[in-house]
Amino acid sequence: MTKILKDSWILSSLFLASVVSLSGCGNKFVGVEYKDLSSGAHYTPVVVYKASSSATAAAGATSSEATGQEATSAGGTGTLRGRIELTGNMAPLPLLHGKGAEVKDAAVCAVVDIPDQTIVTKDGGLANVFIYLRKPPKVTGGNVGEASIIFDQKNCVFKPHAMIMRVGQTVKILNSDGVAHNTHTFGQKNPQFNSIVSPNDAVGVPLIYKKAEQDPISVVCDIHPWMKGYHLPVDHPFAAISAEDGSFEIKDLPAGKHEFKVWHEAGGLIEKALVVTIKPGDNDPLTVKVSPAQLGK
């Protein structure tokens, strides 16, 4: 019995402690307005008005006018040709899947061998490398691009694998397969585009990029996990993708100094700012060497 009494003593002191702590809180709040708490739902924030066009905005407008590409079309235009070379030997990548493999929609997707297009080389050249101006030029020349271009899907492979389009240009997404694909882009500046494309759709679902992207963006199909492609919407005509043998050509570049970016899907930005001086007419061929190490191999 005494033990119980002793034990209840502990209970009462605990009770006392809790009373002390509770009453402490109560006292603390008495006469103190909520706004004295620096956070939480009771705090009333100050709202500061900021006009639409800020001071920084005005400064931005003038300074961006003053810079940009040095070149003007008055100095004539030149053509840049070149080649992306893969140094060292690299064994070709294994197939994504072979003909007749047991994959989804095998009747359509496995009637031919499906290669891994992450790294495509031929005669020492590297394909699917994007070469484009680092900053859009102040003076845009050259063609404005065709009204629409085709982005097809055949045997569950994007055709082409890598693609450049102009801002505002209509990309017609076709489907040459007997199954639906859904073309899903992951733009940084453009909203995501994610639309189903009906089987054998020869009319096409229109895709229009309204903003230029900084670097190429991925395109996938959420039905067939291996399908991958890359798009680069640009607001100038000075961009190219290397062909299978690594060669590329950019026409009508204003004469002067230009900074190019060189991008490959496995290596990311290979060159961030490759400086090339363009003189009117033909220019010396430009060779960009890429080592397998830069492609993560």
Partner 1 sequence: MMFRATFLSTLPRPSRMGFPSVLLCGLALFHLGCGPGPQAEFKFRDSTVDLIGDANREVKKTLKDNFGTPQTLVAWERFPVEYGGVKGAVTSIGEDKSLVVTVDGDPKMIQQKDPLIWISGSLVGEKNATSATVKSFDPESKKLVLEGAAVAAVGDRFAVDFGKDLQDGRKIYMKNCMHCHGVSGDGAGPTGEFLNPRPRDYRNGTFKFTSTRTGEKPNRDDLDRIVRYGIPGTYMPSFLLLGDHETAVVVEYVRWLSIRGEFEKRLVAELASDYSKTAINDAASKAEAAYKEKVKNGEAAEKAPSQSTARQNATNEFKKYFTEDYPAAIEETANLLAEYWNRGQEAESVVVPSVHRVNDTPESRERGRLLYLSDKTKCYTCHGVTGRGDGSATEDFWPKPNSSEKFSKRGLHDEWGNQLKPRNLTLGQYRGGRRPVDLFRRVYAGIKGTPMPAFGGTALKDDEIWDLVNYVMSLPYTEKQPSPAASSHGNVAKREEKSAH
CA 294 to chain centre: 19
Q: Which of these ranges, 59-67, 73-81, 241-249, 274-282, lies near partner 1 under the rule CB under 8 A?
A: 59-67
Residue with tokens 């607001």: 235
State the maximum Cα–Cα separation within the chain, in Å, rounded to a whole number: 109
The answer for residues whose C-beta is within 8 angstroms of residue 220's C-beta and 6 or more apart is 184, 186, 227, 228, 229
How is residue 136 written in tokens?
């859009």
Indicate which single residue of 76, 77, 79, 105 sits in contact with partner 1 (rule: CB under 8 A).
105
Q: Which of these ranges, 70-78, 101-109, 149-157, 233-241, lies near partner 1 under the rule CB under 8 A?
A: 101-109
Q: Which of these ranges, 10-18, 92-100, 161-169, 234-242, lies near partner 1 under the rule CB under 8 A?
A: 10-18
Pairing of strands 157-159, 148-154: antiparallel
Q: Alpha carbon of 116 to those of 93, 97, 153, 164, 215: distances in Å? A: 6, 8, 15, 20, 22
Window 202-261: residues binding partner 1 (CB under 8 A)? 203, 205-206, 211, 214-215, 217-218, 220, 222-223, 225, 228
The answer for residues whose C-beta is within 8 angstroms of residue 218's C-beta and 6 or more apart is 185, 186, 228, 229, 230
∠ CA 243-247-249 to the nearest 5 degrees? 100
Q: How far is the CB of 138 from partner 1 (least distance, A)?
A: 12
How is residue 246 written in tokens?
């690594």
For partner 1, the closer of residues 33 and 74 by Cβ is 33
Site map for partner 1, 12-51, x if CB under 8 A?
Answer: -xx-xxx-xx--xx--x-------xxxxxxxxxxxxxxxx
Q: How far is the CB of 215 from partner 1 (least distance, A)?
A: 7
Q: Which of these ranges, 120-128, 154-162, 163-171, 197-205, lies near partner 1 under the rule CB under 8 A?
A: 197-205
∠ CA 60-64-67 to the nearest 5 degrees? 150
**Number of residues this chain uses to bind partner 1 (CB under 8 A):** 98
- Residue 5 sits in the site that holds partner 1 (CB under 8 A): no
- Residue 269 sits in the site that holds partner 1 (CB under 8 A): yes
- Residue 291 sits in the site that holds partner 1 (CB under 8 A): yes
Window 124-183: residues binding partner 1 (CB under 8 A)? 135, 178-180, 182-183
Q: For residues 130 and 266, give the distance between their C-alpha atoms in angstroms, rounded to a whole number.
A: 12
- Residue 56 sits in the site that holds partner 1 (CB under 8 A): yes
